[in-house]
Structure 1
Amino acid sequence: MADLTEPVVVIGLGRFGAALALELAGRGTEVLGIDHRPKVVQALSGRLPHVITADSTDIEALRQLGVSEFRRAVVAIGTDIQASILTTSLLSELGIPDIWAKAVSDQHRHILTRVGAHKVVAPEHDMGERVAHLLSGRILDYVEVDADFAVVKTTPPREVVGMPLRDSRVRSRWGVTVVAVKPQAPPMGRRSEFTHATPDTVLAYGDLILIVGPVDSVERFAASE
Structure 2
Amino acid sequence: MKCCIIGLGVFGKNLARDLAQLGADVLAIDRRDDNIAQIKDEVGAAVVMDFEDPTPLAHFPIAEMDAVIVAIGDDFEHSMALTMKSQELGAKRIVCRVLSPMHERLLRLLKVDRLVVPEEVAARGLAHSLLMRGVLDGFDMGNNHSIIEATVPAKLAGKSLTESAEDFKVAGVRIVTIKRIEKGLLDGLRKISDQTVKRRTLGVVTMSEIFQADDIFVLFGPEKNLRSFLETYSGD
Q: What TM-score range do you get, normalising by the shorter chain?
A: 0.5 to 0.7
RMSD (Å) for aligned C-alpha atoms: 2.9
> 2:22 corresponds to which residue?
27
Q: Residue 104 of structure 1 is aligned with which of 95, 99, 108?
A: 99
11-20 vs 46-55, greater mean Cα deviation: 46-55
In the superposition, relative to structure 1, how do residues 123 and 39 fare at CA in structure 2: closer, same or farther (>3 Å)?
Answer: closer
Report whether the alignment pairs 1:87 with 2:82.
Answer: yes
Find the aligned partners of 1:116 and 1:63 in 2 and give their Cα distance.
21
Report whether the alignment pairs 1:146 with 2:195.
Answer: yes
User: TM-score when scaled to structure 1?
Assistant: 0.55
> 2:56 corresponds to which residue?
61
Report whether the alignment pairs 1:41 with 2:50.
Answer: no
> 1:123 corresponds to which residue?
118
* Larger RCO (CA within 8 A; separation ≥ 6): 2
Q: Give the drift of 1:68.
A: 3.5
Find the aligned partners of 2:50 and 2:5 in 1 and give their Cα distance.
13
Q: Give the drift of 1:70.
A: 2.0
Q: Give the drift of 1:18.
A: 0.7
Question: Which letter does structure 2 place at the counterpart of 1:110?
Answer: R
Question: Which letter does structure 1 place at the counterpart of 2:58?
Answer: R
Q: How far does the alpha carbon of each residue in 1:35-78 deviate from its partner, in whole angstroms, 9 at most, with x for none?
A: 01111111212222311111345343111122233232000011
Question: Which letter does structure 1 place at the counterpart of 2:15?
Answer: L
Find the aligned partners of 2:206 and 2:14 in 1 and give their Cα distance.
35
The answer (yes or no) to whether the contact 2:2–2:64 under 8 Å persists in 1 is no
In the superposition, relative to structure 1, how do residues 80 and 33 fare at CA in structure 2: closer, same or farther (>3 Å)?
Answer: same
The answer (yes or no) to whether the contact 1:8–1:74 under 8 Å persists in 2 is yes
- SS across alignment from 2:202: strand
> 2:9 corresponds to which residue?
14
Question: Which letter does structure 1 place at the counterpart of 2:196?
Answer: A
Question: Which letter does structure 1 place at the counterpart of 2:195?
Answer: D
Find the aligned partners of 1:120 and 1:96 in 2 and give their Cα distance.
15
Unaligned runs of 5+ in 1: 1-5, 128-140, 151-175, 182-195, 201-209, 211-225
The answer (yes or no) to whether the contact 1:178–1:197 under 8 Å persists in 2 is no
The alignment-based identity, stated in percent, is 28
> 1:197 corresponds to which residue?
206
Find the aligned partners of 1:56 and 1:117 in 2 and give their Cα distance.
20
Q: How many residues align?
A: 142
The answer (yes or no) to whether the contact 2:6–2:30 under 8 Å persists in 1 is yes
Q: How far does the alpha carbon of each residue in 1:4-42 deviate from its partner, in whole angstroms, 9 at most, with x for none?
A: xx2010101111111111100001110000001111111
Q: Give the drift of 1:97.
A: 2.0
The answer (yes or no) to whether the contact 1:21–1:33 under 8 Å persists in 2 is yes
In the superposition, relative to structure 1, how do residues 116 and 54 fare at CA in structure 2: closer, same or farther (>3 Å)?
Answer: farther
Find the aligned partners of 1:54 and 1:99 in 2 and give their Cα distance.
19
Find the aligned partners of 2:201 and 2:35 in 1 and give their Cα distance.
46
Q: Residue 72 of structure 1 is aligned with which of 35, 59, 67?
A: 67
Q: Residue 202 of structure 2 is aligned with which of 178, 195, 198?
A: 178
In the superposition, relative to structure 1, how do residues 69 and 148 fare at CA in structure 2: closer, same or farther (>3 Å)?
Answer: closer
Runs of 4+ in 1 over 4 A off after TM superposition: none
Q: How far does the alpha carbon of each residue in 1:140-180 deviate from its partner, in whole angstroms, 9 at most, with x for none?
A: x9x89412535xxxxxxxxxxxxxxxxxxxxxxxxx4525x
The answer (yes or no) to whether the contact 2:27–2:45 under 8 Å persists in 1 is yes
- Larger of the two Rg values belongs to structure: 1
Q: Give the drift of 1:105.
A: 2.1
